[in-house]
Chain A
Amino acid sequence: MATMKALVCRECGKEYPTQAIHVCEMCFGPLEVKYNYEAIKKGISRKKIQDGPHSIWRYADLLPVEGPNFLGPHAGMTPLVRAKNLGAYLGLDELYIKNDTVNHPTLSFKDRVVAVAITRARELGFETIACASTGNLANSVAAHAAASGMRAYVFIPGDLEAAKVLGNLIYRPNVVEVEGNYDDVNRLCSEIAGEHGWAFVNINIRPYYAEGSKTLAYETVEQLGWRTPDQVVIPMASGSLLTKIWKGLHEMKTVGLIDAVRTKINGAQAEGCSPISTAFKAGRDFFKPVKPKTIAKSLAIGNPADGYYALKATAESKGSMDMVSDDEVVEGIKLLAQTEGIFAETAGGVTIGVLQKLVKQGTIKKSDVTVAYVTGNGLKTQEAVIDAVGRPHRIQPSLVSFEQTFKVGKHGGGDA
Chain B
Amino acid sequence: MIKVRIPTPLRPLTKGKGEIEAQAKSIAEMIENLNASHPGIKDRLCDETGDLRRFVNIYVNEEDIRFLKGKETSLKDGDEVSIVPAIAGGSSCQT
Chain A interface residues (CB < 8 Å from chain B): 10-11, 22-32, 35, 37, 180, 183-184, 186-187, 190-191, 194-195, 202-203, 206-207, 209-211, 238, 240, 243-244, 246-247, 250-251, 254, 286, 288-289, 291, 303, 305-306, 308-309, 313, 316
Neighbouring A residues of B85 by C-beta, 8 Å:
22-23, 28, 190
| B1-27 near A? 1/0 per residue, CB < 8 Å | 000010111101000001000000000
- Tier of interface size on chain B: 20 to 34
Known: A184-B62, A288-B66, A313-B93. A191 touches B84 (CB 8 A): yes
Q: Do the beta carbons of B44 and A10 come within 8 Å of each other?
A: no
Bound together, the chains give a CA A289 to CA B62 distance in angstroms of 15
Q: Do the beta carbons of A28 and B92 come within 8 Å of each other?
A: no
Asked if B56 is at the interface of the complex by the 8 Å CB criterion, the answer is yes
Q: Do the beta carbons of B84 and A30 come within 8 Å of each other?
A: no
Q: Do the beta carbons of A22 and B64 come within 8 Å of each other?
A: no
Neighbouring A residues of B12 by C-beta, 8 Å:
25
Known: A23-B55, A32-B92. 8 other contacts (CB 8 A): A27-B55, A28-B55, A203-B87, A206-B87, A211-B89, A240-B89, A243-B91, A308-B88
Neighbouring A residues of B35 by C-beta, 8 Å:
none
Q: Do the beta carbons of B9 and A247 come within 8 Å of each other?
A: no
In the complex, which of the residues A27, A187, A247, A308 contacts B84, with contact meaning CB atoms closer than 8 Å?
A: A187
Nearest opposing residue in chain B for A310, CB measure = B91
What are 20 sample pairs from A and B whose C-beta atoms fall under 8 A apart? Answer: A10-B88, A11-B54, A23-B7, A23-B8, A25-B10, A29-B55, A30-B87, A30-B89, A184-B62, A187-B59, A187-B84, A191-B5, A194-B8, A238-B88, A244-B91, A247-B91, A250-B95, A254-B95, A289-B66, A303-B66
Q: What number of A-B contacts does a CB cutoff of 8 Å give?
A: 123
Asked if B69 is at the interface of the complex by the 8 Å CB criterion, the answer is no
Q: Do the beta carbons of A190 and B88 come within 8 Å of each other?
A: no
Bound together, the chains give a CA A288 to CA B67 distance in angstroms of 9
Neighbouring A residues of B9 by C-beta, 8 Å:
23-25, 28
Bound together, the chains give a CA A243 to CA B12 distance in angstroms of 32
Nearest opposing residue in chain A for B83, CB measure = A28
Asked if B53 is at the interface of the complex by the 8 Å CB criterion, the answer is yes
Neighbouring B residues of A25 by C-beta, 8 Å:
9-10, 12, 44
Q: Do the beta carbons of A303 and B93 come within 8 Å of each other?
A: no
Known: A194-B8, A288-B66. A305 touches B87 (CB 8 A): yes
List the 7 shortest-distance A-B pairs measured between CB atoms, nearest first.
Answer: A210-B89, A243-B91, A10-B90, A25-B9, A30-B88, A305-B88, A30-B90
Q: Do the beta carbons of B90 and A243 come within 8 Å of each other?
A: yes
Bound together, the chains give a CA A186 to CA B7 distance in angstroms of 14
